[in-house]
């Protein structure tokens, strides 16, 4: 099949499968989320290979340089966004000004090369590794106890109505084209205090989706103050660390947090919300950013 025929450019693939119908097996074509390898070669630091989902065509060269800015045929190429976001959440860069260049070539679409302005000042936590779609930041408990995260508390500017979270989650779902086709991808979306969705990214890996949306904001020099992020996944330690690095004040997800995610959010001033549904949210830390009509103590009757 060609790329256009099997949905390769849209983040999914057509594969043969069988559907059970009573006692019969019926042959059909099934859509599954695409998975590919992307190597991010950071000059002077190392090479990182991610398993990811390309959702855009990769037929043209694209790049960024300090002298010329973003060079691409259209939009913000997601491979560059993923590379920039990964470098950011790995702590290799603090912003776009730390990047000399990022380049993707049509002859080697599976490789992104990154040049830093000053690679000698970078202290990477890991080099030359392959990172699968469910893996994030290494370190865990030891990284927290030894003070290796190098994080700063987030600001306290964001305020949203409690009922907005479910509405924004619905807006994100409407823009999850890969999930609508396959049911097999994650998404992340940046939102403002006004409830506007500023950027959305999808990938088979929840870490990649978050890195993509952060990277898109880095490449566009977006002001992320007073912003939050929506996640279609659970909230683990590494996901919260990535969000804190980006300065997101509120993290809202459709699933649950881990105990370590709650600890990190509490420590760095992040409002952590799980189980976001149309009219339901569970707030685990720093609830002051959610404006509610009433706050009910445990054991009290909820007002009608």
β-partners of residue 257 are 235
d(C-alpha 291, C-alpha 297), whole Å: 16
φ and ψ at 216, to 5 degrees?
Answer: -60, -40
Asked about 135 being catalytic, the answer comes back as yes
β-partners of residue 250 are 228, 271
202's CB contacts (< 8 A; 6+ apart) are: 11, 53, 55, 176, 177, 178, 179, 185, 186, 187, 209, 212
Q: Is 58 helix (H, G, I), strand (E, B) or coil?
A: coil
Q: How does DSSP classify residue 136? A: -
d(C-alpha 235, C-alpha 285), whole Å: 13
In a 10 Å sphere around its CB, with 0-12 CB exposed, 13-18 middle and 19+ buried, how is residue 86 labelled?
buried
- Choose the catalytic residue: 135, 138, 217, 227: 135
In a 10 Å sphere around its CB, with 0-12 CB exposed, 13-18 middle and 19+ buried, how is residue 71 labelled?
middle
β-partners of residue 70 are 64
288, 162 contact by CB (below 8 A): no
List residues with catalytic annotation: 135
């Amino acid at each position: 099949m060609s790329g256009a025929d099997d949905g390769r450019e849209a983040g999914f693939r057509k594969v043969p499968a069988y559907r059970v119908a009573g006692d019969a097996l019926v042959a059909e074509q099934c859509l599954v989320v695409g998975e590919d390898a992307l190597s991010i070669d950071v000059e002077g630091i190392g090479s990182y290979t991610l398993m990811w989902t390309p959702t855009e065509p990769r037929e043209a060269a694209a790049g960024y340089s300090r002298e010329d800015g973003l060079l691409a045929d259209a939009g913000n190429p997601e491979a560059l966004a993923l590379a920039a976001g990964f470098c950011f959440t790995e702590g290799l860069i603090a912003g776009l000004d730390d990047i000399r260049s990022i380049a993707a070539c049509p002859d080697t679409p599976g490789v992104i090369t990154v040049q830093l302005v000053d690679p000698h000042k970078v202290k990477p936590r890991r080099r030359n590794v392959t990172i699968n779609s469910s893996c994030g930041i290494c370190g865990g408990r030891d990284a927290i106890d030894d003070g290796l995260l190098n994080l700063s508390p987030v600001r306290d500017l964001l305020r949203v109505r409690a009922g907005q979270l479910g509405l924004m989650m619905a807006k994100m779902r409407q823009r999850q084209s890969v999930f609508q086709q396959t049911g097999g991808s994650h998404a992340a979306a940046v939102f403002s205090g006004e409830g506007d969705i500023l950027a959305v990214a999808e990938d088979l890996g929840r870490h990649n989706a978050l890195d993509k949306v952060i990277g898109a904001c880095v490449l566009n020099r977006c002001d992320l103050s007073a912003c939050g992020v929506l996640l279609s996944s659970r909230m683990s330690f590494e996901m919260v660390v990535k969000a804190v690095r980006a300065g997101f004040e509120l993290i809202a997800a459709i699933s649950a947090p881990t105990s370590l995610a709650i600890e990190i959010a509490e420590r760095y001033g992040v409002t952590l919300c799980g189980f976001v549904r149309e009219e339901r949210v569970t707030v685990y830390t720093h609830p002051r950013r959610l404006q509610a009509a009433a706050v009910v103590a445990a054991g009290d009757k909820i007002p009608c």
